[in-house]
């Protein structure tokens, strides 16, 4: 997959994660309570499952972002190395700003 497609995929993942978190936040802020011990235990288990899923989604998205950044660094360095003379000097100065 080229860097451009990876960037779009990462933005898609980020958007999906953001939407999911908004829904989860609304759900957790609801005033739903259980009338029984079994119901309360079910809500606690559901919360625990959602927590694990959320942490997994965050970890996956962060890993995708780190991979994309590393690949983009490689692309930038490759482009700079291809430049010669004044162009390379300008690119290095720009990169240091």
Q: Tell me the pLDDT tens digit for each residue of 60-74.
A: 989 988 988 888 888
CB count within 10 Å of CB 50 equals: 14
pLDDT surpasses 60 at 94:
no
Residue with tokens 């899923």: 53
Cβ-based neighbours of 1, under 8 Å, separated by 6 or more: 9
User: What is the C-alpha separation between 87 and 11, in angstroms, rounded?
Assistant: 31
pLDDT of residue 93: 62
Answer yes or no: pTM beyond 0.75: no
Per-residue pLDDT tens over the stretch 29-67: 877 778 899 988 988 898 889 889 888 988 998 998 898
Token reading at 3: 């860097």
pLDDT surpasses 80 at 84:
no
Collapsed DSSP state (helix, strand, coil) of residue 6: helix
Token reading at 33: 């309570």
């Amino acid at each position: 997959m080229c860097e451009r497609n990876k960037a779009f995929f990462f933005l898609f993942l980020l958007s999906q994660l953001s939407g999911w978190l908004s829904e989860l936040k609304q759900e957790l802020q609801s005033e739903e309570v259980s009338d029984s011990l079994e119901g309360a235990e079910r809500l606690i288990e559901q919360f625990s499952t959602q927590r694990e899923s959320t942490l997994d989604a965050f970890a996956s998205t962060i890993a995708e972002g780190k991979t994309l950044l590393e690949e983009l660094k490689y692309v930038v360095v490759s482009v700079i190395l291809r430049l010669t003379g004044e162009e390379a000097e300008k690119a290095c100065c720009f990169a240091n700003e």
